[in-house]
Amino acid sequence: MNKAFTKEPDGAEDDDGDGVSLPALPAGSRNYMTPQGHARLRAEFMQLIDVERPKMVETVSWAAKNGDRSENGDYLYGKKRLREIDRRLRFLTKRLDIAEVVDPSVHHGREQVFFGATVTYANARGEERTVTIKGIDESDSLAGEVSWISPIARTLLKARVGDELNLVTPVGVEKIEVVDVQYPAPKA
């Protein structure tokens, strides 16, 4: 369908279906993801396509048979929800198509920071913080996970235990030191 006939603003296909836009990937880069993150997005895609969308199509079909659609709440809500599901499906399809799954366990035992590392670093005041470097679509700051394109991750990538780095923050440059680097153990 032509966008001229929809009520969605331009660029709506780039949000995640919840009205929250995720950061865009840097030009020419890949969508790095851990195997767990890829599996989680794939499971969400399958849930939407196999369960939620068919259920909502059935609801909309039932509601359409009830007569006046202009005042039919089930029909109006169902159509809106279908648009949200379809938008999320488009987003997931795009992100999964360009995903490059990287298994961080291949670096198990190394002291250099790569994608998927759990890094402990200390600032000049001796305060330590631990972050795990993950993909854009899977990082959760409340769980101590940062996107690989975040300033802290870009500063830490390729560093080794003991390296002193300059982290650029909104209040200035802060000296940090890499204290520890951990990777998940390989699955047997």
pTM of the model: 0.76
Task: Write the pLDDT tens digit of every residue in 153-167.
Answer: 999 999 999 999 999
Class of the 104-182 domain? Answer: alpha beta
Spans of the chain below 50 pLDDT: 1-20
Query: What is the pLDDT, as a whole number, of residue 11?
Result: 44
C-alpha distances out from residue 37 to 16, 29, 136, Å: 15, 18, 10
Break the chain into its structural domains and give their ranges.
30-101, 104-182
For the chain, state the CA radius of gyration. 22
Query: What is the pLDDT, as a whole number, of residue 28?
Result: 67
CATH 1.10.1840.10 fits 30-101, yes or no: no
Nearest Cα residue to 108 out of 44, 39, 181: 181
